[in-house]
Amino acid sequence: MNIESRLAQIGSQEDPATGAVSYPIYHATAFRHPRLGQSTGFDYSRTKSPTRAILEAAAAELESGDRGFACSSGMAALQTIFALFSQGDHLIVSLDLYGGTYRLLERIMSRYGVTASYVDTNDMDALEAHCTPGTKAILIETPTNPLMMITDIEKAAAWAKRKGMLTIVDNTLLTPYLQRPIELGADIVIHSATKYLGGHNDVLAGLIVTKGQALSDEMAILHNSIGAVLGPQDSWLLMRGMKTLALRMERHEFNSVKLAEWLKVHPAVEEVYHPALPHHPGHDVQRRQSSGNTGIFSFRMKDARTVEPILRHLRLIAFAESLGGVESLLTYPAVQTHADIPEEIRRRVGVDDRLLRFSVGIEHIDDLIADLGQAIDAALQEIEEA
């Protein structure tokens, strides 16, 4: 079945008792046992819960994995995955990574003796150079946020496999509609489902999908033991969002490519980072390993003084953190999403005070261009008058 159909039909045939097309929300935390030694398959909702189970099965199928796990946030999902590792273990992590993941590794995991190196995961020499006997896994974000660096998943996963390491891919930005890392050799996929999967800036959630029996069994133990699981109401809300994922991603891509092309030739803009643009260094790999582009991209203004007034003059586009929702949001990574990343690393990847990140929504493209255009014009005028 095509992924569009699978998405639209999540949970629609799972309740034979009533035929409900929208799967019910089961709030129960405890489940009656028919008799000693028997179970309906549900005992206690931290371990398994009916509404969450529908979501988890759908996630596993969409990502071509064996098992799905729904968590209370993307960070909870990452923490659950990191619990696979022990004192002395080392991870190789994408250089331009999500600030929260960096904070979790450096502030929390380091206390347990789990260390990380931040490298360009598309650079095979760099991977080789940072590999130690204790290196257990490689954690890849592709594209990265905000600089949209692309890693060749197949190449990196094959390298990791030869070394006996796990490959973990954060697939938040592209979603299984556009990119399925397990099909390219990854062992674990993680999502901040708060973003595109939920899609409406109204549910905080994370997903893990594992490939292979042993890894799936181990993750089930961690998921249940840590207990950062997603509640039934939020599981339902996430499934409701996922039903329209295919349509939303098509519009996100269309709008983001149009805006990137418009900004590329704007005289006040120095550079645009969008993998759909032919000059982008990851353009070919991204085309090969995914079936389209996300709605996220970044651009660097020529003059840092334009940033503050641009954000102030926006009317339709919101100045806000987060990404992946139907509403367009503009973020200033250096002071918002990436504030936890040390200046040295930020500078190395290029997150500076002239960089803005766009999470392009599904509004009409003409309205988005008009709003950003008037904000840039107003900013330039203020600078000229100052």
Ligand X SMILES: *Cc1c(COP(=O)(O)O)cnc(C)c1O
Q: Beta strand pairing status for 206-210 and 67-71?
A: antiparallel
Taking alpha carbons only, the member of 217, 275, 267, 207 closest to residue 52 is: 207
Judged by beta carbon, residue 49 or residue 101, the one nearer ligand X is: 101
- Pick the catalytic residue from 26, 48, 96, 98: 98
Contact characters 12-51, ligand X, x per CB under 6 A? ----------------------------------------
Tracing tokens 């904000």 back to the chain, one arrives at: 375
Q: Of 100, 134, 231, 350, which lies in the binding site for ligand X, with binding defined by CB under 6 A?
A: 100
Q: Residue 17 CB, nearest distance to ligand X (Å)?
A: 33
User: Which of these ranges, 67-75, 177-185, 298-306, 328-336, lies near ligand X under the rule CB under 6 A?
Assistant: 67-75
Q: Which residue's CB comes closest to ligand X?
A: 74
Identify the H or E element spanning 68.
strand 67-71
Q: Residue 100 CB, nearest distance to ligand X (Å)?
A: 5
Using DSSP, how many helices (H) and how many strands (E) does the chain show?
14, 12
User: Which of these ranges, 68-76, 82-90, 234-242, 282-290, lies near ligand X under the rule CB under 6 A?
Assistant: 68-76
Contact characters 131-170, ligand X, x per CB under 6 A? ----------x---x------------------------x
Burial class (CB in 10 A: 0-12, 13-18, 19+), 141: buried
Q: With contact defined as beta carbons under 8 Å apart, do 220 and 67 qualify? A: yes
The yes or no reply on residue 96 touching ligand X (CB under 6 A) is no
Does the annotation count 243 as an active-site position? no
Check residue 185 and give left, alpha or beta (phi > 0: left; psi -120 to 50: alpha): left
Which residues have CB under 8 Å from 217's CB, separation 6+?
Answer: none
Integer Cα distance of 329 and 351 in angstroms: 18
Does the annotation count 43 as an active-site position? no
Q: With contact defined as beta carbons under 8 Å apart, do 98 and 106 qualify? A: no
Q: With contact defined as beta carbons under 8 Å apart, do 211 and 76 qualify? A: no
Contact characters 232-271, ligand X, x per CB under 6 A? ----------------------------------------
Does the annotation count 347 as an active-site position? no
Integer Cα distance of 67 and 70 in angstroms: 10
Q: Beta strand pairing status for 355-359 and 90-94?
A: unpaired
Q: Of 75, 197, 203, 355, which lies in the binding site for ligand X, with binding defined by CB under 6 A?
A: 75
Judged by beta carbon, residue 195 or residue 223, the one nearer ligand X is: 195
Q: How many residues bind ligand X (CB under 6 A)?
A: 15
Contact characters 175-204, ligand X, x per CB under 6 A? -----------------x-xx--------x
Q: Of 98, 102, 118, 358, which lies in the binding site for ligand X, with binding defined by CB under 6 A?
A: 98
SS3 (DSSP) at 90: strand
DSSP string, 265-287: T-TTEEEEE-TTSTTSTTHHHHH
| Residues annotated as catalytic (active site), given as ranges | 46, 98, 170, 195
Binding residues (CB under 6 A) for ligand X: these are 73-75, 98, 100-101, 141, 145, 170, 172, 192, 194-195, 204, 206
